[in-house]
Amino acid sequence: MPKAFQTKVNDEFEFDFSEEDIQKQDLINISQNDCHLIFKNQSHLLQVVKKDLLEKTYQVKIDSNIYEVKISNQLDLLIKKLGLSLGKAHLENEIKAPMPGVILEINVEEGQNVKAGESLLVLEAMKMENTITASNDASIKSISVTQGQTVAKNELLIELE
């Protein structure tokens, strides 16, 4: 079953497309957030100015115009079609060790504000380094571990508020 997507631009225009449609586009990546798009035989500079991966929203600059873009995937479209809503995800206030290991780095300090996806600490487990990140924007309430400390699975590492 081909993947389907829906894009809403500036809360005004909706576009439906498939993964195949995306593959057909003539895009040349310049950097991680910039590319050239050739559309109707004209070259356009496309820049991702801002992105919120949790909300699947992007601010995109094409040539000198800025657009607010929301992308919905198949699951989002099905939920909408069924009249259901996921609502806001439960905000996580406690960061616990996903597995036993050793704390290699602590990248934050108490009172610091962090953004979703920001690295909080590095846990070494089974000879692999695992970066533990914030699941939402928050403030560091307390840090319960120290660098070099051995932790057990589900042990409290960091408390957020």
State both tokens at 34: 């910039």
Query: Which residues have CB under 8 Å from 159's CB, separation 6+?
Result: 93, 94, 95, 140, 141, 142, 143, 144
Taking the domain 94-160, which CATH number applies?
Answer: 2.40.50.100
- Cβ contacts of residue 16 below 8 Å, gap of 6+? 4, 5, 6, 7
Based on its alpha-carbon atoms, the radius of gyration of the chain, rounded to whole angstroms, reads: 21
Q: What is the pLDDT of residues 31-79, one digit of tens each?
A: 888 888 888 888 888 898 998 887 889 999 988 899 999 988 888 777 7
Q: Report pLDDT digits (tens) over 81-99.
A: 776 655 544 557 899 998 9
* Predicted confidence (pLDDT) per residue in 88-145, tens digit: 445 578 999 989 999 999 999 999 999 988 999 999 988 889 899 888 889 999 999 9
Q: pLDDT band at residue 17, thresholds of 50, 70 and 90? A: confident
The pLDDT of residue 160 is: 92
Where in the chain is CATH 2.40.50.100?
Answer: 94-160
**What is d(CA 69, CA 56) in angstroms, rounded to the nearest whole number?**
8
